[in-house]
Structure 1
Amino acid sequence: MFIRLLRGSVVVITLLASACAGVASPPSVGSPSPVPASTPDVTPSVVDVTPSVVVVQPTSTPVAKPTVRPDLSGDIVIDGSSTVYPITELAMQQFAEIAPNVRIQLGVSGTGGGFKKFCAGITDISDASRPIKPDESEICRANGIEFVEIPVAFDGISVIVNPENRWVQCMTVDELKQMWAPDSEGKVVTWKQIRAEWPDQPFKLYAPGIDSGTHDYFTAAIVGKEDASRNDYIGSEDDYILMQRVIEEKNGIAYVGFAYYQEYTDKVGVVAIDAGNGCVSPSIETITNGTYTPLARPLFIYVRNDRLDRPEVEAFVTFYLENAADLVQAARYIPLPPRVYELVGQRVAKRTTGSVFSEGIQVGVSIETLLMLEDK
């Protein structure tokens, strides 16, 4: 199970060799309690919390162990998406086995917050649940920062409801838009206003905060304009808080990354989406074959081009890509097709900089098509 992240929290993974005798485990400072798999423990009134730091020892996960590289050392700083965090966390844990002298610091401040740090020169790698925006790219360029864009996985944003909610089995894109559009704020407040046969009870909205790439992608895909959303909802960059709010609130509804829904399938209901071809629920099959639309999306990491000159960064990125399919599956997301990983590997080898998503979020556009066009 994933470690629960609070907004602004930082995970520092000290990569120590298991063969080093006599080295004591570092103390944990202000460690937040992990979210148990059976009973949520987040108090409903908590929305924002004081940042904390936790030191995590690398754990063993099932992957073939390559040759240990004690010659690699240095620090790698990563920040960004809470959606991509579980994949990167697993990559760090496994990389610990081959690079025990590399120290990796992982922060979670949302995709937008991560790009702010990345383009300011604070981080080496940025996790992102949407493509970098043109204005963010311009800030990077102005600061002399070139980057390599690396797609790593597929996700399907999942709309979840309380398990006692028996009436919302499927929603059309138009119904979701009516619920979340900016002009619905203070006006559309009950289930009955969305569909006449639903209860005349107020719904409670929960969603990722404005620094979240999930927020950006959902609003672009559903409302039709990025960041266009009503504001009378409870937001958090911590997907676990959103999950647990919905579990505790009968009339709650939220949208989260597929992996978080997968972790709580026995505690929440998922809403099928009708984009015009019938109701389709998020699953590995529907996200992979493209029928779960318009909420299927790619996930990324962005790496500073100059940082790839550092052996420890180049080795970590190579390890990440070589093991991407296994890492992604272990984190409950969907791997990209082998051909896409091949094209991405070529992109890194050639140090191809910039984004193939020149206009930012492009709903329904194939990554493979964009990469193949770029390769010609």
Structure 2
Amino acid sequence: MSRDTTASLSAGLGRRDFLAAASVALSGGLAGCTGIFASEGNQINIAGSSTVFPVTEAIASAFSEENPTVNIALSKTGTGGGFGNFFCAGRTDINNASRAIADAEIEQCGNSDVTPLELTVATDALTVVVNPNADWVDCLTVEQLREIWRADGAQRWSDIDDEWPDEEFELYGAATTSGTFDYFNEAIIGEEENHRSDYHATERDRTIVQGVQGSEFAMGYFGFSYYSENPDSIKAVAIDDGDGCVEPSIETAMSGEYTPLSRPLFIYVAKESLTKPSVRNFVRFYMNRAATDLVSEVGYVPTTEDQRDENLKQLETAIEEVTE
């Protein structure tokens, strides 16, 4: 995406509108991208997790206001899709990630001479949601949630509790390329079972919102940010991990009460991209803003000052290694 294209996109648009437009431009232009090292010095390409997207979106917008000549192209591809198709292929500078990078992805990055630098940017309360008219359910145990989402598990609400409606579930969740899928699968389903495949799988969290809004018998899961945008049209379900029902919130995620669905969120930076001043400056800016209320405003827990300082220390070390 050219400087003129980004300027025209940003003219007259708000924060979310501008970056959504930038996302479309990136998605359309990645096919012709020959690599991060061939990109312009004032261009920053970011793909990956839809969960982390709102954090990066907000911080990128704040950075763009102070650095209008730097083009930031941002796209939702899912954590795994971002690593496999773009970041580890040397086509993006940064990957948003709602889980840690996998060994196979590290190997793929290495084969492309991409060295990933992991930086924690927030904490999420992964949220299970239902339709507001589902007045029979306010809390689920981890065991009940597993029974709903495992392969060959429950098919109807009444299979979980015979006092609940004898109606089939309408389920919406993360696609298999998503870090949210991986985390939910590990935390809820476990190693002995598989995540069911007969559900509406998508990387578009707002599709999940719309699906749950549209059916009294629907259920979905995604990052807390997308629930916090729609608290009146969908209902969050409290989770009982053995110590009683705990509602998802910034406060319960911060305190550690909301288990097992509280999780760290990351960005991964290609160390080789840190040779570009625009990327260095953006990531420094990101680490500082990740410890502020800007993250809270989009529905996640900011990093602590200690985590911010550790992130900056790792970043400066990486910068020294690639710019000596």
TM-score interval, normalised by the smaller of the two chains:
0.7 to 0.9
Separation in 2, partners of 1:13, 1:182:
49
Query: What is the SS of the residue equivalent to 1:151?
Result: strand
Residue 122 of structure 2 is matched in structure 1 by: 153
CA contact (8 A) 1:15 1:100 kept: no
Per-residue deviation at 1:234? 0.6
Equivalent residue runs for 1:1-376 within 5 Å: 16=7, 25-26=8-9, 53=24, 74-116=42-84, 117-184=86-153, 188-225=154-191, 228-324=194-290, 325-351=292-318
Separation in 2, partners of 1:135, 1:172:
33
Deviates more, 1:324-333 or 1:101-110: 324-333
Per-residue deviation at 1:266? 0.8
Separation in 2, partners of 1:218, 1:208:
9
Per-residue deviation at 1:270? 1.1
Separation in 1, partners of 2:274, 2:99:
22
Per-residue deviation at 1:288? 0.4
Separation in 2, partners of 1:295, 1:53:
31
Q: Deviations over 1:178-230 (max 9, x none)?
A: 1111232xxx2111111222121111111011111111100100001399311
Identity among equivalent pairs (%): 43
| Unaligned stretches of 5+ residues in structure 1 | 1-9, 17-24, 35-51, 56-71, 353-376
| Unaligned stretches of 5+ residues in structure 2 | 18-22, 27-39, 320-324
Residue 46 of structure 1 is matched in structure 2 by: none
Aligned residues: 294
Separation in 1, partners of 2:67, 2:150:
48
Per-residue deviation at 1:147? 1.4
**TM-score scaled by structure 1?**
0.74
**TM-score scaled by structure 2?**
0.85
User: Pairwise CA RMSD of aligned residues?
Assistant: 2.4
Distance 1:342 1:226, change over 3 A: farther
Q: Deviations over 1:233-286 (max 9, x none)?
A: 011101001011000111000001101111111111111100010110101111
**One-letter amino acid of the structure 2 residue matched with residue 81 of structure 1:** S
CA contact (8 A) 2:41 2:276 kept: no
